[in-house]
Chains A and B, each alone.
Chain A
Amino acid sequence: MFYTIKDLVAQSAAYPSIAAMMVALEEENTNRSAAEIRRLMGKNLDAMVHSVHQGIAGVKSVTGLTGMEAKKMDGYLAAGDFLSGRPILEAVRNAIAVNEVNAKMGLICATPTAGSAGVLAGVLLAVRDRLGLSRDDQVDFLFTAGAFGLVIANNAGIAGAEGGCQEEVGSASAMASAALVCAKGGTAQQAANAVAMTLQNMLGLICDPVAGLVEVPCVKRNALGASQAMISADMALAGLKSVIPVDETVEAMRKVGLQMPSAFKETAEGGLATTPTALKLKQQIFGDRA
């Protein structure tokens, strides 16, 4: 088992890939066969793909607070007149789609959480056809992301209530950036650099859900996570390095999470959640019960 990203990178040298190492480890820990483990991950992949398509087709949340904006992004993309590049915008559209499905209590795959589920699915589907990823490659993509995610989860956390949004969308984005690097043929060390650069850009991000709902700002924070993952991956593939080592960055995130006031940790007691508009929306949705 690897407990730091440094270990992860070093140990992966003995395997064909980080994904292969993750599968081998899972075999060891669960007595399940590699084929069964890959099949289970394939089911997660199917749920992710389905949620992207469902969201792009257009859904509305239970409260009506969010929805139909992945569809709007899709139309904008189809019109062909935009500022950023197409792959990033597709990742953004996909990420929004998944979290709109999540907000309507639809079926999604948590990666690592439901509130951040759009990031990994979003970037994977944005690069799948461009990189010609087979189904096996896509399953590998998820194992790679999961390997980095495990280290982040065990050394910091993945709950907004524990450490703010930096540990949810931040962790999701970091995992995704590492998986993107590997899918594009980058090295394990480059993937580690992508994780470091992503987390450094996410440090301090608070969890401030309006009315306590996983809708505003969560849906669009997934767009942030997806686009940062793409940018970090490209920076790492270009050879850019992180000055602060990745494991020190993860530890910094843990400390920031501890130091963060509880008002910014999924309590809806600070940030956007206490703006006049948010308080009005909360009253409209829950009435006097809230």
Chain B
Amino acid sequence: MPEVRFHSVFDIIGPVMVGPSSSHTAGAARIGKVVHDIFGTTPEKITVYLYESFAKTYRGHGTDVAIVGGLLGMAPDDPQLPDALKIAYERGISVGFVPKSDKVDHPNTACIVLKKGDRRLEVTGVSIGGGNIQITEINGFKISLSMGTPTYITIHDDVPGMIAQVTQIFSQANINIGTMTVTRTAKGEKAIMIIEVDGYNDALLAQLKQLPHMINVTYFE
């Protein structure tokens, strides 16, 4: 049978969202929000590359507005979402959209590049329907982050010992790590860990955030 992409009844009934399209508006906002959470700060420059259906119908569906809303930290049901482009402009954020004609694996694909000073984050996300999304690439690394698998994403300074400290926290909490990906923009710069786990507790997130050299930790389920 095909891969199981939808896990929860709320993937089918929900989300409550600002219209008009669950894939092109709510899904787009969710992709933006995940990227915002991973980046952990407001970017100076946003560039969004859009593919296939996203490239062809993004204006009509408010995909552009929704992605930027997400990147500003808005959820799909945020009543301010329709005004996201204006809000970004007022905050002096440079925003660009580039529709691409390249063939990609999924029709609703967006590649988002955020910049602030020397920091750069590049994330590819796909909107698979009903507002559900998958993150397929972070900084050139193929990953498979589907909402539905408990996942921690950390951004931290690229210094020795970070992986050991993080995994020790999981070990002490008796939480099993399923998969783990470590990537960085450049040696000694910022690094990212993507950790899929079999459990969650509130205390753990706080513990991770308190580690020295930790910049941001996000939990997705």
Q: Chain A: residues with CB nearer than 8 A to chain B?
A: 1, 3-4, 22, 25-26, 29-30, 40-41, 43-44, 47, 101-115, 117, 120, 142-143, 145-147, 149-150, 153-155, 157-162, 167-168, 175, 209, 211-215, 254, 262, 265-269, 285-286, 289-290
Contact = CB atoms under 8 A, between A and B. Distances in A.
Contacts of A149: 12-13
Given A105-B18, A212-B57, A254-B2, A111 B13 contact: yes
A204 B22 CA distance: 21
A267 B13 contact: no
28 contacts: A26-B9, A30-B8, A30-B221, A105-B18, A108-B16, A109-B16, A110-B131, A111-B13, A111-B14, A112-B22, A113-B23, A113-B129, A114-B26, A114-B131, A115-B20, A146-B10, A146-B13, A154-B6, A159-B108, A161-B52, A162-B107, A212-B60, A214-B21, A214-B24, A262-B107, A267-B52, A289-B59, A290-B59
Interface string B21-42: 1111110000000000000000
B107 A266 contact: yes
Given A109-B13, A142-B13, A214 B53 contact: no
Given A113-B23, A149-B12, A266 B57 contact: yes
Question: A-B pairs with the 8 shortest C-beta distances?
Answer: A159-B129, A212-B60, A212-B57, A102-B19, A149-B12, A146-B9, A214-B20, A161-B53
Interface residues of B, number: 47
Given A101-B19, A109-B17, A162-B129, 13 more contacts: A26-B10, A29-B7, A105-B81, A109-B15, A110-B131, A112-B22, A117-B19, A120-B13, A142-B13, A158-B6, A212-B56, A212-B60, A268-B56
Contact of B19 (A106, A143, A212): A106
A157 B126 CA distance: 14
A114 B129 contact: no
Given A111-B13, A146-B9, A159 B23 contact: yes
B87 to A, nearest CB: 15
Interface string B89-112: 000000000000000001110000
A47 B19 contact: no
A107 B79 CA distance: 8
Highest count of chain A CB atoms <10 Å: which of B2, B9, B14, B16: B9
B14 A109 contact: yes
Given A22-B9, A112-B12, A161-B52, A107 B18 contact: yes
B128 interface: yes
A114 B6 contact: no
Contact of B2 (A41, A103, A154): A154
Contacts of A289: 59
Contacts of A22: 9
A113 B16 contact: no
B10 A40 contact: yes
A220 to B, nearest CB: 15
Contacts of A286: 59-60
Contacts of B164: none
B129 A44 contact: no
A149 B24 CA distance: 20
A132 to B, nearest CB: 22
Contact of A153 (B12, B56, B81): B12
Contacts of A147: 9
B127 interface: yes
Contact of B23 (A4, A160, A213): A160
A250 B62 CA distance: 31
Contact of B61 (A30, A109, A213): A213
Interface string B108-137: 100000000000000000011111000000
B186 interface: no
B203 interface: no
B130 A110 contact: yes
Contacts of B8: 26, 29-30
A92 to B, nearest CB: 19
A38 B104 CA distance: 39
Contacts of A143: 9, 13
A127 to B, nearest CB: 17
B107 A265 contact: yes
A103 B129 contact: no
Contacts of A160: 23
A46 to B, nearest CB: 9
Nearest to A157: B129
B189 interface: no
B19 A105 contact: yes
Contacts of B129: 112-113, 153, 157-159, 161-162, 167-168
